Structure 1
Amino acid sequence: VRPISFIFTTTLSSSRRTVFAGFVASVHHRRAHLWLLPCFSAAEEAKNEMENLEGLQILAEQWLHQGIEFVQQIPPPQLYAAIGVLLLTTVLFFSVRLFRRTKSNTVLLSGLSGSGKTVLFYQLRDGSSHQGAVTSMEPNEGTFVLHTEDTKKTKPVHLVDVPGHSRLRSKLEEYLPRAAAVVFVVDALEFLPNCRAASEYLYDILTNASVVKNKIPVLLCCNKTDKVTAHTKEFIRKQMEKEIEKLRASRSAVSTADIANDFTLGIEGEVFSFTHCLNKVTVADASGLTGETDQVQEFIREYVKP
């Protein structure tokens, strides 16, 4: 603007110079005003924010004062009871969260003596049958990664081989409350002579309080299916369902005073099926001697995540 005003002022008359000088001054004034506008707007915004914060502070103080007055009006017994309920709810909430984070990795191998539980245990541990293990009289347990898995990437399984002798089945009670799953092993080769006894044992497991309340999944493992004369898993499932149906009828007719079961099984008025159980019951084939344990391992890893 200054160079232009200089050129024009040298050629214009004095009166016109005065008018032009006033015009130039007004232009400079307007430019200066435009430069100051951002400063004024920023200051105005900061002022508005401060006013909003002060308003929120006043409102919070009012709410706090009203809350204190309300609490002071509550009788002490009711106030203490409310605080107690709040603390109890908080403790229960965090306890449940902690319990869910620490899921069990214990899997139980159960079944009658001679069904092949111990051989299956060794196959799952190191892939060897140990040339056919003898009947165990004490729980055989260990914590390890299944032999077909990568030890660096998977979670170890706490596997417990519970003795199948009738006098030693009480050992099962010690492990069931913390079990993630149960593998019930049945001898598919010598199934029919032992069908009744195996069904009674499985009935006791399925009606156990820990199994029902925790909905512990059970795998009906038909072992020794590599033999030609072994029964199929479908046949074994149907026969055991029939036997358990008979047990339901006979035990319901007897006084419950001498029955150790905690819960009834199945649906009243319907023929028993494993699908009626509150917990999941599945059936699988296996052979401890030949190492055919894929279905058992899949079942274990379904409930003990790697």
Structure 2
Amino acid sequence: MLRTGPFEAALDSAVRASGLSLERIQHRLAERGVEISVTTLSYWRRGRSRPERPQSRQAVRLLEELLGIPTDGLVSLLGPRRPRGRWVNRDSDVLETEHLWREFESLPELLAELDSTDDGLLRVAAHDSYELDARGAGARLTTRLALKATRDRVDRCVVVLRGEDPDTALPEFTDVRNARLGRLRSDRSVPLMVVELFLDRTLSEGGTTLIEYTLRFPGNGRRAEECGRGFNAPALLYTLEVSFHPDAVPVRCRRGFSAAIAWEPVSAEPVWISAAGRAHAVFENPGPGYQALSWEWH
């Protein structure tokens, strides 16, 4: 694996061979002055994100030492650091969908099948309410969106969704309000899903509408570790609520931001989990990028 990669496969193999838990690895990194969350380590191991920042590269070098890997054995698999420019168009602060989701190679093809790279809608405000089941897997996600047309003759909203487990069925769209379900395209290997929702009326530039929908997830998915939303352009408000089942409450929760979906968070702040097993975050004026809550299980 160290000769051929990829990075995540080599890291996963080394962790398994070491017999160390991610919690123990995190503790040993912290003893050396490097703070990396268990969630981030899990993402690196599963290929959902990659170490990019200087502190993360330092953590990888310490991982080589902790896991008995030759110097640069893992670092060499990362290659040069990627460009970190956040905006496609700095004058308008608009991030292209493919850039926001740039870790997902199949997305451009899925969008092309729906003849869409831009649906012409600004997400002015969003409210996501996510419920988990007794095993910690996603059960239901209800979304409410306030939308504004950026051009004339806008008649649909395109939704991009990433799942947790490629081995389970895709979620079901239900309770759609002020719109109707159109075509759906997916890449089950990620899993990734692109859906079009036809608006109840065609909007002229500056026109607004409110839509709502619920996703119901199959009952046999793996434990969820985060929930969030990617924004292509600045919005006014994003509110995210997560309701954990009393039999599956994580040990800690954080809110964070990253420049793209599946990238490690640039910032992470602790979030209180109530006695009822609920956590929330209010993101005011969220800019382009990915806003999310993530959590760690026992």
Q: TM class, shorter-chain normalised? A: under 0.3
Question: Please, what TM-score do these two structures have when normalized by structure 2?
Answer: 0.23
Larger helix proportion of the pair: 1
Please, what TM-score do these two structures have when normalized by structure 1?
Answer: 0.23
Larger Rg: 1
